[in-house]
Amino acid sequence: MDFELLIGIFPQVFLDGLILGFMYALIALGYTMVYGVLEFINFAHSEIFVVGAFVGVEILLTFQAAGLLALVSPFLVLLVVLLLGMLASGLLAVTVERVAYRPLRGAPRLIPLISAIGVSFFLQDAVRLVESVWRNAFNLVYPTMDTLNIRFSLTETIDVSVKSLVVIVASLLMLWGLHALVNRTKIGTAMRAVAEDQAAASLMGISVNRIISLTFLIGGAMGGAAGVLFGVQYSLINPYTGFIPGLKAFTAAVLGGIGNIPGAMVGGLVLGLLEAFAASYLSLLTGGAFGAEYKDIFAFSVLILILIFRPKGLLGEVVRERA
């Protein structure tokens, strides 16, 4: 076993795991926000994430066709794409809540869960239909922006691209903004009141429906931002791109403590690091018997072990107390 190689690649693998983890964390924020208020798992969130990715690629392709990508600062372009992707996904999430979830709010929990799965399939096929009619293709590639692909060498063995730094900075800013919104504003106080007791919150003059819609708007916007950043980072997207990252982000939210905003970030980072280390080290440690294709099995096995000993997640699950 080449111990020098194992030690030498450690920093780069750690950095790659962090970037992947921040991506999972951004998606997980949408799951955890909705669960924190409604105790409901929005399985359509992965498709809301994909819609953000497609809005982003369509805007970038439009800019490219108009020749604007070469003229305008790539960071300004990315900011515009991010904001529009967040707006589209946020509005879609609000629409989904109004049409598919609100009429079922008093129903047994299994019913809205099935509705969420149905919405998920509907959105997948809707995106595929629209893109097939519009472009005669639904596998799209994000246009390249050279500035974002520049790589900085931190040491002789570690380098990082500008777009990876954008993912990290954007994730940290969104986590900070979301945490401040929930804990330091009247809107956040209203969200926490609705999460605690909807009837009491309503008696205190809080519009429960409006707060729930706002929760979906913010959660969907986080998913849209994650979709755009995913496209910028990994380039290729299709209507089914959201399934695996969405599943892993949901797992990250549970691992961190579902309903807990910092927990979603911690869970995403842990999952990203486990995957990155498994993908890089399994083959080296087993002499090639197991390769990177087993990274998900390794990562989820570790997660199962963690949840056996800490079922409420690393930072604890946030749920309302019932009388």
Neighbours of 301 (CB within 10 A): 13
Tokens, residue 252: 């990250």
From the number of C-beta atoms within 10 Å of its C-beta (0-12, 13-18, 19+), residue 106 rates as exposed
Q: Which residues pair with 151 in a beta bridge?
A: 161
Q: Can you say whether the dihedral through the CA atoms of 312, 318, 320, 323 is positive or negative?
A: positive
User: Is the alpha carbon torsion for 258, 261, 262, 267 positive or negative?
Assistant: positive
Share of the chain above pLDDT 70, in %: 97
Output the average pLDDT for the chain. 86
- Whether 126 has a pLDDT exceeding 80, the answer reads yes
State how far the Cα of 308 lies from the Cα of 219, in Å rounded to an integer: 28
Kindly indicate the confidence band of residue 317, based on its pLDDT and cuts at 50, 70 and 90.
Answer: low
Give the residue carrying structure tokens 């019913």: 111
241-292 pLDDT, tens digit each: 888 888 888 888 888 887 788 888 888 898 899 888 888 888 888 877 777 7
Place of tokens 């111990």: 3
pLDDT digits (tens, 9 = 90+) for 11-42: 888 988 998 898 888 888 888 888 888 788 88
* Residue 322's pLDDT band (cuts 50, 70, 90): very low
What tokens were used for 263? 């927990």
Question: 282-299: string of b/e by CB count within 10 Å (b at 16+)?
Answer: bbeeeeeebeeebbbebb
pLDDT of residue 154: 77
Global pTM reads 0.88
* Gap between the Cα atoms of 240 and 121, Å rounded: 10
The pLDDT of residue 319 is above 70: no
Taken in order 72, 78, 81, 87, the sign of the CA dihedral is negative
